[in-house]
Structure 1
Amino acid sequence: MADIPVLTTARLTLRAMRAADWPCFRALMASPRARHMGGPFDDTAAWGMFCADHAQWDLFGTGALMIDDRATGDCLGQVGVNAGPLFPERELGWFVYPQAEARGIAFEAASALRDWTRDVRRLDTLVSYVDPDNARSVRLAERLGAVQDPDAPRPDPDDLVFRHFRR
């Protein structure tokens, strides 16, 4: 069993996924908001993604963490470092549920997991694969200090690749 970290920031707790996270995850993946990730997805595809996000901890030593509000305990979304055959490189990815948008939640969570990955897993670089039509994620990748890498391999040829270097 993988040692899945619990990370905390000023406002957030990043923690392992639980079965109770499935309904909100499923709803997001079935919604038009999932279009930037290749969706919307049916239940079978969404369940496979949910399970893969968790299983990556055992298989690759990184994976997804759910984002909880420390004050309320509400789950606000997910951040993860994805690996495996669907990802040419380790990918820092994120999503937040609608109630968490425009609050800096994704930035805070992605920064914390990026830093943990660098400091604990000792990875020198990560990438973020971003749909070019997802202006909010493009801005977030740039705010995180990532730079576009047009020569990087990508799972979707239309994606932009943002590279996060160790500083």
Structure 2
Amino acid sequence: MADIPTLRTERLILRPMTMDDWPAYFAFMQSGRSAGMGGPFDKKMSWALFCHDMAQWPLMGNGGLMIDDGASGTCLGQVGINHGPLFPEHELGWFVYPGAEGKGIAFEAARALLAWAGSERRLPGLVSYVDADNLRSRQLAERLGGVLDAEAERPDPEDLVYRHF
């Protein structure tokens, strides 16, 4: 069983998920803000995704981490590495809750998890599957150094694939 890390950045704490995270996670998944992930989702699918994010840790050695503000402890969203039957490659993904956008939160969290993936998991690289209409996530993938890979396999044929080296 994989240990779930807690990572710290200048402003953030990336920590394991708890049941206390469910209400805000569910609200996000029900909202239009989850459209870039295939949402909005009903309660059953939201719960399946929540459990998937957690279950990947013992099964795959990676998964979802919640993003907390280091000063206040407020949960701001999630960053994670997805893999398994639904993902052709290890995927770096993220989302932030309303009010956390445009502050560099997702960038800081994703950069920390990307570094952890290389140093601790020794993954040769990650990809990000991004909805072509999600301009903010596309810009974030590029800011993280992601390079478009038009030939990469993808779970959704409409997604763009950004390769992180």
Same fold, TM-score > 0.5, yes or no: yes
In 1, the alpha carbon distance for the partners of 2:55 and 2:39 equals 21
In 2, the alpha carbon distance for the partners of 1:57 and 1:36 equals 23
The answer as to 2:22 corresponding to 1:16 is no
What residue in structure 2 maps to residue 143 of structure 1?
143
In 2, the alpha carbon distance for the partners of 1:120 and 1:57 equals 14
Cα offset, 1:95, TM superposition: 0.2
In 2, the alpha carbon distance for the partners of 1:92 and 1:11 equals 20
In 2, the alpha carbon distance for the partners of 1:43 and 1:92 equals 24
Cα offset, 1:99, TM superposition: 1.2
**Identical-residue share of aligned pairs (%):** 65
What residue in structure 1 maps to residue 57 of structure 2?
57
In 1, the alpha carbon distance for the partners of 2:34 and 2:111 equals 22
What residue in structure 2 maps to residue 114 of structure 1?
114
In 1, the alpha carbon distance for the partners of 2:59 and 2:38 equals 24
The answer as to 2:39 corresponding to 1:39 is yes
What residue in structure 2 maps to residue 97 of structure 1?
97
When the two structures are superposed, what TM-score results if normalisation uses the length of structure 1? 0.98
Cα offset, 1:3, TM superposition: 0.2
What residue in structure 1 maps to residue 130 of structure 2?
130
What residue in structure 1 maps to residue 75 of structure 2?
75
Moved runs in structure 1, 4+ residues, more than 2 A? Answer: none
SS at match of 1:151: coil
Q: Over residues 55-101 of structure 1, what are the superposed CA-to-partner deviations in whole Å (9 max), with x where a residue is unaligned?
A: 00000001000000000000000000001111010000000001110
Segments of 5+ residues of structure 1 without an aligned counterpart are none
Q: Over residues 14-35 of structure 1, what are the superposed CA-to-partner deviations in whole Å (9 max), with x where a residue is unaligned?
A: 0000000000000000001111
